[in-house]
Amino acid sequence: MSLEIKICGLSTPETLDAALGAGADMVGMVFFTPSPRHVDLATATAAALAARARGRAQIVALTVDADDATLAAIVDAARPDMLQLHGKESPERVAAVRARFGLPVMKAIGIATAADLARLSAYADVADRLLLDAKPPKGALLPGGNGVPFDWNLLAGLDLTRPFMLSGGLDPDNVGEAVRRVRPPGIDVSSGVERAPGIKDPARIAAFLRAARAADATESEHSTGDKPAHTSSARETSPS
Ligand SMILES: O=C(O)c1ccccc1N[C@@H]1O[C@H](COP(=O)(O)O)[C@@H](O)[C@H]1O
């Protein structure tokens, strides 16, 4: 299976088209008011962007500790293919959201030290995917989208039972190395393909996808068939 690439924080038709045209597998909309990428539900933008992307890429709605009413409004307006929970949602809350909305759920987990990996297994039992992101820097206003990487060495030998996406500080210059070193099933980027906070750059989006696909192709070509521990067969199963 080839690398899945998500471009997150898309909020205009032009930049959405850039991601779709360059071959993104997933496109993300942020529903979190403090974010410069926030898509306002009070306008028709979310529905219009989703209609533009539908059938061309998976539509992911990113929320942060959203309550059921907010999630229902987002699902109603955008009809996403997946919900990304990027706050402090507990495993129980992830399971409840998944059951209530009948959509696959990707849970973001902040990683800074090896101790943070201990939290993964509880979420792997209830989420369809895990998004391994850097923990926000001290004083940051956002729980993600900060353009900060974490130490990828922490993931060496990780044995995950779910597909995961690597994120945090990826950009067109470092994504090749990330793909070669971590060999993640998927990657996700937001600020690394922007020219200013919240302003996506079509040229950087295209460059990111090119660099990631090239590294993935090289890896597949040189692969010995040995898979990293995190690609064990159990990861293809769904939470019960
Ligand atoms: O992008 C945002 O504004 C955002 C806001 C709140 C939570 C998460 C957010 N983005 C996610 O964070 C990761 C990492 O972002 P970056 O590439 O380091 O800028 C990104 O993959 C988004 O899914």
d(CA 111, CA 130): 12
- Answer whether residue 237 shows pLDDT above 50: no
Which residue's alpha carbon is nearest to atom 1 within ligand 1? Answer: 145
Distance 146 CA to ligand 1 centre (A): 6
Q: Which helix (H) or strand (E) holds 207?
A: helix 202-222
Residue 140 lies in a domain: yes
Residue 85 lies in a domain: yes
Mean pLDDT of 48-68: 98
Query: Over pLDDT 70: what percentage of the chain?
Result: 92
- Answer whether residue 20 shows pLDDT above 50: yes
Residue 173 lies in a domain: yes
Q: Is the dihedral of CA 191, 27, 60, 164 positive or negative?
A: negative
Residue 239 lies in a domain: no
d(CA 208, CA 194): 11
Which residue's alpha carbon is nearest to atom 6 within ligand 1? Answer: 144
Ligand 1: residues with CB < 6 A are 8-9, 28, 30, 32, 35, 37, 62, 64, 86, 133, 142-148, 167-170, 188-192
What is the per-residue pLDDT for 219? 79
Quickly tell me which residue has 């800074």 as its tokens: 112
Residues 6+ apart with CB under 8 A from 177: 215
Residue 190 lies in a domain: yes
Distance 188 CA to ligand 1 centre (A): 8
Distance 76 CA to ligand 1 centre (A): 23
Which residue's alpha carbon is nearest to atom 7 within ligand 1? Answer: 144
pLDDT tier, 42 (very low <50, low <70, confident <90, very high otherwise): confident
Which residue range is the domain that position 80 belongs to? 4-232
Distance 233 CA to ligand 1 centre (A): 28
- Answer whether residue 49 shows pLDDT above 70: yes
Distance 99 CA to ligand 1 centre (A): 25
d(CA 151, CA 17): 32
Number of domains the chain is built from: 1
Quickly tell me which residue has 């061309």 as its tokens: 56
d(CA 10, CA 75): 17
Please tell me the least confidently modeled range out of 3-7, 31-35, 41-45, 63-67: 41-45
Under DSSP, the state recorded for 104 is -
Residue 134 lies in a domain: yes
- Percent helix, strand and coil across the chain, each to the nearest 5: 40, 20, 40
d(CA 20, CA 7): 9
Residue 80 lies in a domain: yes
pTM score: 0.92
Residue 238 lies in a domain: no
Which residue's alpha carbon is nearest to atom 2 within ligand 1? Answer: 145
Atom of ligand 1 nearest to the CA of 147: 18
CATH of the domain at 38: 3.20.20.70
**Tens of pLDDT along 135-183?**
999 999 999 999 999 999 999 988 777 899 999 999 999 999 999 999 9
